[in-house]
Structure 1
Amino acid sequence: MRENGEALTTHQSLQRLLSSDFEEVQPPMDVPFVIRETARKYQHTVAQLTVWRKK
């Protein structure tokens, strides 16, 4: 998503879409996780977790 030619992060987009009905409970957290692709190959990734509460 872009605004005025600048790329928006997923978190910024979520804030804009949810802020009217939800409040963000805590700042975003990075959550590491591992996906096993084969018996010897793994993919290490970091997801961003956000927690929201309905107003």
Structure 2
Amino acid sequence: MGRYYPHYLRHSIATHLLQSGMSLEYVRDFLGHRHLEATQVYAKVGAHQLVGL
């Protein structure tokens, strides 16, 4: 079994929230980031994943 780190959990949660329709600003607040650019690092979602949202 692979190793898991808090970074992976934060990335997974952020991606899941975005895919569920939560705005990037709300995800930023949820993760406790001050700047939107910090959230974008954790919440990278490919354009193919956004189709249909």
TM-score (ref. length: structure 2)? 0.30
Higher relative contact order (CA 8 A, sep 6+): 2
Going by fraction, where is strand more abundant, 1 or 2? 1
TM-score, normalised to structure 1, is: 0.29
Between Structure 1 and Structure 2, which shows a larger proportion of helix residues? 2
- Work out which of the two has the higher radius of gyration on C-alpha atoms and give 1 or 2: 1
